[in-house]
């Protein structure tokens, strides 16, 4: 007869691997779909690496605002590299398996870079000095990111539920494959969403309210336009990051009845569009960055 301890060990199950999917319902067209995905990944890596090289090689850009921009570009590179291998493997080669521990590692980097990007955008909105840059990477929500894998490692998973909803590992997606109480995971996920998409966005709105009040106090209309123009690029970057992120979180929690393709497309927009658009936004709106990037290309 088995002891109670043996029974507990046997009843606890974690899958050796998960099975990922690409674009639900469009599996036959994955070869063609991989072309725009590859172009977007290439554009994201090229644009953000150009910003990093431009700031590093141009002494006149060694200023706090461009250090923040470098941090944002570095975060976008990390976010792109977190999902690119598995996404292209699914689209190119239909390689859909990912080991359980590898999935947790990918999930850790994916969520960590997302939280850091939110913190960097918040720091950029509040200060033009370099000091808030470090707290942006060591905020309470960022330093608690190692909890993500441990919260999933403790769960007992269902043997017949190893199919993920994306071509990457996302915490809400993984925890729903468990046959256990996931209340702690839900509460922790809600805390992260509120800390990033909620509190950070509200603080950014507060910051720009103060900036707008200061700008309106300027005497000359030309000075007002010039002051507002310096904030346009950052405001666009905030919209590009927070709107898809908040939309994806809301869909995962309240839109389970929606088709799977909607979940997939919103997730890809959140993870791929900001790293692609941020270099374009800042190169178009910032003449010093644009000229420095052109010098690097030459």
Return the domain boundaries, the chain. Answer: 31-297
Q: Angle of helix 30-57 relative to helix 64-93, nearest 10 degrees?
A: 160
> Mean of the pLDDT values across residues 186-215?
79
> Mean of the pLDDT values across residues 184-210?
80
* Among the listed residues 91, 222, 224, the one whose alpha carbon sits nearest the alpha carbon of residue 167: 91
Q: How far apart are CA 286 and CA 184, in angstroms?
A: 44
Mean pLDDT of the chain: 82
pLDDT for residue 131 = 46
Confidence of residue 233 (pLDDT cuts 50, 70, 90): confident
pLDDT for residue 215 = 73
Cα torsion angle, 71, 72, 73, 79, sign: positive
Q: Which residue has the higher pLDDT, 274 or 184?
A: 274
Third-level CATH fold of 31-297: Rhopdopsin 7-helix transmembrane proteins (1.20.1070)
pTM: 0.85
Length of the chain: 298
Kind and range of the H or E run holding 83: helix 64-93
pLDDT for residue 145 = 58
């Amino acid at each position: 007869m088995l002891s109670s301890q043996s029974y507990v060990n046997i009843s606890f199950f974690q899958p050796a691997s998960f099975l990922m999917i690409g674009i639900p319902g469009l599996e036959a067209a994955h070869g063609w779909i991989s072309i725009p995905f590859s172009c977007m990944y290439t554009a994201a890596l090229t644009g953000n690496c150009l910003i990093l090289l431009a700031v590093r090689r141009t002494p006149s850009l060694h200023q706090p605002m461009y250090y923040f921009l470098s941090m944002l570009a570095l975060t976008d590179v990390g976010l792109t590299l977190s999902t690119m291998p598995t996404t292209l493997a699914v689209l190119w080669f239909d390689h859909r398996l990912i080991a359980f521990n590898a999935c947790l590692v990918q999930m850790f980097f994916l969520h960590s870079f997302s939280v850091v990007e939110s913190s960097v955008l918040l720091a950029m909105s509040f200060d033009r000095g370099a000091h808030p840059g470090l707290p942006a990477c060591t905020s309470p929500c960022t330093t608690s990111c190692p909890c993500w894998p441990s919260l999933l490692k403790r769960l007992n998973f269902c043997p017949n539920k190893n199919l993920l909803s994306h071509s990457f590992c996302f915490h809400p997606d993984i925890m729903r494959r468990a046959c256990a109480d996931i209340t702690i995971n839900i509460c922790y996920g809600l805390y992260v969403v509120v800390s990033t998409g909620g509190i950070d966005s509200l603080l950014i709105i507060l910051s720009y309210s103060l900036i707008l009040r200061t700008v309106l106090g300027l005497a000359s209309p030309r000075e007002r336009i010039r002051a507002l123009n310096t904030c346009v690029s950052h405001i666009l970057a905030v919209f590009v990051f927070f709107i898809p992120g908040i939309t994806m979180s809301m869909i995962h929690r309240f839109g389970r009845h929606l088709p799977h393709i909607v979940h997939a497309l919103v997730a890809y927009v959140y993870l791929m569009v900001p790293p692609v658009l941020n270099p374009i936004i800042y190169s178009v709106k910032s003449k010093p960055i644009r000229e420095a990037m052109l010098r690097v290309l030459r």
